Structure 1
């Protein structure tokens, strides 16, 4: 009997070890993108990290952005574009670094303008304009030429919560085993039986924020005004949820969507509603992986809007530069 128990225990250990290796080496579990708390911003991505998840690369620079590091000082012929948002812009670990909207826009703008281009991706899951404003106050505007804000209708309600427990979607340290992450974060989401016993994490959403429309609107207004004073152009890209695209959004949400447009225009920003192209994507591709977050194809649509929204002003600036700037881009 003892031998049977030993054999059974050994087999169980081998099963656990094998499963751990598959999850860790095959899927990249056990090494999730980490967040750090900040007394001003609330939380942001842990700086200077690169992860391999689900066959995708997820890289964070020294400033907690999902972008490459900028040069310490802006080059004479260089253009810089700050793109600011939440989990929609960030893309998450299921979208590779090279195909997120900001990475593709950086390459396309450099090729089109024949200039060094740096495009920032200042974002984190669950961020509201209050987080974004606090981030820019802490780190500055990086001598940007253009600022682009990727906003959703709910941003007119959400404020930072500074909740002490960020939950499994925002780990501050890696779990001891990939198995722990699989059980806590993914099994409840994809296995209905497990969901009866464990809470289902909401992808890309932090702990409940403060629902304060009046304050959130004032913060966004101030943020756009500051962007106007720091850059040469401000662009607002209004991303829509599937509920909005289907016409099932409640009346208050429809009014909020229109109010967001009014605030953007009153703040002197160029406003682009992504709804029409998100509703009828080219080629009928699937743009959404849930009710709000984008697939790689969705990121391509976002990139198209981003590039078209900034290339005009950058081309005008390029025309005023000396002929020596007309060289191959340095990326």
Structure 2
């Protein structure tokens, strides 16, 4: 009888814990990633999820943006990796691109979309392949968000979707299993390493593509913009160490040199006044950081009169 009671108590506890993980924290509701022969991978289209209290939306074109409805709106493309994607740590309403849509629409009294085309660990080559596949959505303005490491970030087509825990291709059956495999075990492993970042807040992407050569993605996007009469602006996001050192590292300098040689407009975050508390790890931004990017680009667009 005692054994039966213990067993029933365990089942009840398991069910309660499972419900708490699912409905309070969003376990078993992770954004799903799909493999792609050209792009490498992108988020599954038409997702609307709630994870750790944050709403995560991917529209019909796998953008982290609301669905595209108005064909006559002014379109700006925000292109990049997990920095502007925000991951599950940033609510849809707190994304820089979402904030910019609202601010620009209110300021110019026009329907303006600032679309978020991004995924964790994408480099310029991934971005270019996305544009080749889906087009430019009649945009005349590209904001390419990069960090110093993107100078050497190349597509490798290494299979990671469904293998790396950061690129799931299906939901877990049980929330407790997801908690254990995706969070508890890696955190225990990290506690035995020299990593100072928490598991949830550390860079939510794998270093899938690096080389000694400057990636061709920058040149490809630059030439595409020239051919299609699109204004290209590169936003160079600084890692926390660069911010503390008050200078870009050597790979960041390569990106700066590329922009100078090709007369590409560059916004270098090093020169933007902000505090270290915008970071949630060495590279990713919290809500305050997303707002900093939105405010910076909003003021930049007004200053150079990008939109008439």
**1:15 corresponds to which of 7, 13, 16:** 13
Give aligned pairs, total: 301
* 1:185 and 2:157 are equivalent in the alignment: no
1:138 positional shift: 0.2
Aligned residue in 2 for 1:210: 209
Q: Distance in 2 between matches of 1:193 and 1:4?
A: 37
Alignment of 1:106 with 2:109, yes or no, is: no
1:159 shift after superposition? 1.0
Match of 2:48 in 1: 50
Say yes or no: does 1:301 pair with 2:298: no
Superposed CA deviations along residues 9-51 of structure 1, whole A, max 9, x for unmatched, are 1111111111111110001111101101111101001100100
Look up the match of 1:290: 281
**The one of 28, 38, 41 aligned to 1:40:** 38
CA contact under 8 A between 1:234 and 1:268: conserved in structure 2? no
Deviations 1:289-323 (A, max 9, x none): 1110000000001112222333456x5653xxxxx
TM-score, length-normalised on structure 1? 0.84
SS of the residue 2:298 aligns to: helix
Aligned equivalent of 1:323: none
| Shift, 1:257, TM fit | 1.3
The secondary structure found in structure 2 opposite 1:8 is helix
Contact map agreement 1:145 1:233 (CA 8 A) in 2: yes
Question: After alignment, is 256-265 or 58-67 more displaced?
Answer: 256-265
1:221 and 1:267 in contact (8 A); partners too = no
Give 1:246's aligned residue: 244
Residue 142 of structure 1 aligns with which residue?
137
TM-superposed CA distance for 1:120, in Å, is 0.7
Aligned residue number for residue 62 of structure 1: 60
Q: Is this contact kept in 2: 1:37–1:44, CA < 8 A?
A: yes
Given that 2:301 and 2:307 are in contact with CA atoms closer than 8 Å, whether structure 1 keeps it comes out as no
Q: Is the 8 A contact 2:94 2:291 kept in 1?
A: yes
Instruction: Return the alpha-carbon distance in structure 1 between the equivalents of residues 85 and 144 of structure 2.
Output: 12
Where structure 2 has 5 or more consecutive residues not aligned to the other structure, the ranges are none
**TM superposition score normalised by structure 2:** 0.90
* Offset of residue 214 of structure 1: 1.9
Question: Are 1:187 and 1:194, in contact at CA under 8 Å, matched by a contact in 2?
Answer: no
Q: What is the 5 A alignment of 1:253-264?
A: 254-264=249-259
> Is the contact made by 1:109 and 1:311 (CA closer than 8 Å) also made in structure 2?
no
Selected match of 1:151 from 146, 149, 164: 146
> 1:213 aligns to what SS in structure 2?
coil
Note the aligned Cα RMSD (angstroms): 2.4
| Separation of aligned partners in 1, 2:212 and 2:106 | 41
